[in-house]
Structure 1
Amino acid sequence: MTNDIKPPVAAPAGRKRFWKQATIVPAGTGYAVELDGRPVKLPERTTLAVESNALAQALAEEWQAAGKEAGGLFRPEDLPLTRIAGSMLERIPNQREGVIESLLAYAGSDLLCYRAENWSDLSSQQKERWDPWLAWCEKTFGAKLAVSGGVMPIKQSGAAIAALRKTLESASDAELAVLGVAVPALGSLVLGLALLHQQASPEDLTGCATLDEQAQMQRWGEDTEITDRIARMGRDVADAGRFLILLKQG
């Protein structure tokens, strides 16, 4: 029998909250999260502990809030910062090369590289909003990405992929964990890197990544499935951005 507490693998309905107080305590050079005096353990038995006091406080706050509504049930979705911290502490160190490869795959299918075929309002918006980010990527990382009209796959140059690989290999575990949330949400490695380097707000980047969806709704009217998808994307990107800011606060 152990008193360690693990983040749940929960059913959609959630699990019953079983603690009263979430706190942080000193742990090595950082701070660990405890529930009623017992440490939160990640799936591989790592203690949920971070060096940043601000991040540790936020982790404790999300555990404190989880399950206080919805009949006292809590779900993994209630703990987004814990999810990113868990990736930083366990997944990235154990699977770093695989994580880099999965992120690098987005360079070959980056949202910003696939444009509307006809010269429409959408294609004009894409050029206006997306070209500056591709120029920033080339200037900052030395990665010049090709652009195509339509959805047929295009092959990016070996030089561009190598430059982006070098960028990802130089990233810290925390930065890769942030990218691991932001890049799939946005469908763009370039926009994920823009978030990481704090070049724009999560809201602006989400808006940039959803030009097509916004154009569809302008033409056909609001669609709750689309608005829900945009909202989920916005939350994921905001969580990744908040994690990064808290981590840097120390």
Structure 2
Amino acid sequence: MSEWAAKRFWTAASAEEVEGGHAVRLDGRAVKTPAKAALVVPSRAMAEAIAEEWQAQDERIDPRTMPVTRGANAAIDRVRPQHGEVADMLAAYGDSDLLCYRADAPAELVERQEAAWDPLLDWAAEACGARLAPRTGVMHEGQDPAALERLRTEVHALDAFALAAFHDLVSLTGSLVLGLAAERKAFDPEALWAASRIDEIWQQELWGEDEDALAAAEAKRLAYLDAVRFLSLTRSA
């Protein structure tokens, strides 16, 4: 049996200002989320990006080519109804943050981690008032509860749309600090992504490249950049 896919039924997709934000219409019909909620987004720029994704569809709709639409659906259907639970889940990354677990050898890897990760921990201490301490090895050691609570407050302050993007920024990198640095535009997004890949790149240099692993890493990088873009669209005038 062939896989079912929805067919295109509209001629023109457009953005429109509505009560509470901006909506997308297909030949005048309002787009809804998979859960049948009104798809109303916080900025006109986001609505226009969603309209462009719908307009670019061919005969059959391919959700894989619609990252902004998917992000808006997730924000409305999944994040908004359980905002607190999602925020707590992401804040928990702070107690096992990627940037805090360091190798003890070889020296070159230790130096790479320190050079890339120490400035990010310093940034979090200054910008968020939360100093996370690095450890050697992979055994869990809890962080300062006061620092974790300050980071938790930062995450809970994000609205549903920002939190939907933040979910991907944190889960794809394994780091709450990297997510917050991207959310605040404190560093170049590609540099932050590269910081999350130090261990993997080291392994590639040591053992050689694997095509499947490279393809998976590139898919994650593109998803990360989609999240960065989605976050910027939530805040566009």
Give the alignment's TM-score, normalised by structure 1: 0.86
What displacement does 1:107 show?
A: 1.0
Indicate the residue corresponding to 1:17 in structure 2: 7
Residue in 2 that maps onto 1:189: 176
* Aligned match of 1:30: 21
**Cα contact 2:20–2:40 (8 A) shared by 1:** no
User: Aligned ranges for residues 142-161 of structure 1 at < 5 Å?
Assistant: 142-161=129-148
Q: Percent identity?
A: 37
What are the superposed Cα offsets for residues 12-40 of structure 1, whole Å, 9 maximum, x if unpaired? 95614323432222322432112233222
Amino acid aligned to 1:18: R
Distance 2:106 2:181 in 1: 27
Distance in 1 of aligned mates of 2:118 and 2:7:
47
Matched with 1:164 is 151
- Match for 1:43 among 34, 49, 67? 34
AA at the equivalent of 2:141: I
2:48 to 33, 36, 57: 57
Distance 1:73 1:122, change over 3 A: farther
Secondary structure of the structure 2 residue equivalent to 1:163:
helix
Match of 2:92 in 1: 105
Whole-angstrom CA distance in 1 between matches of 2:43 and 2:197: 33
Unaligned runs of 5+ residues in structure 1 are: 1-11
CA distance in 2, matches of 1:166, 1:31: 28
**Equivalent pairs, count:** 235
Call closer, same or farther: CA 1:198–1:14 in 2, change over 3 Å: farther
Report the Cα distance in structure 2 between the residues aligned to 1:127 and 1:209, rounded to whole angstroms.
13
TM-score, normalised with respect to structure 2: 0.90
For residues 38-67 of structure 1, give each alpha carbon's deviation from its aligned partner in whole angstroms, at most 9, with x where no partner exists: 22211332211223111111011112223x
Offset of 1:220 from its aligned partner?
2.0
Any conservation in 1 of the 2:41–2:47 contact (CA below 8 Å)?
Answer: yes
RMSD of Structure 2 on Structure 1 (CA)? 2.0
Offset at 1:195?
A: 0.6
User: Please, which runs of 5 or more residues in structure 2 have no aligned partner?
Assistant: none
Native 8 Å contact 1:88 1:177 kept in 2:
yes
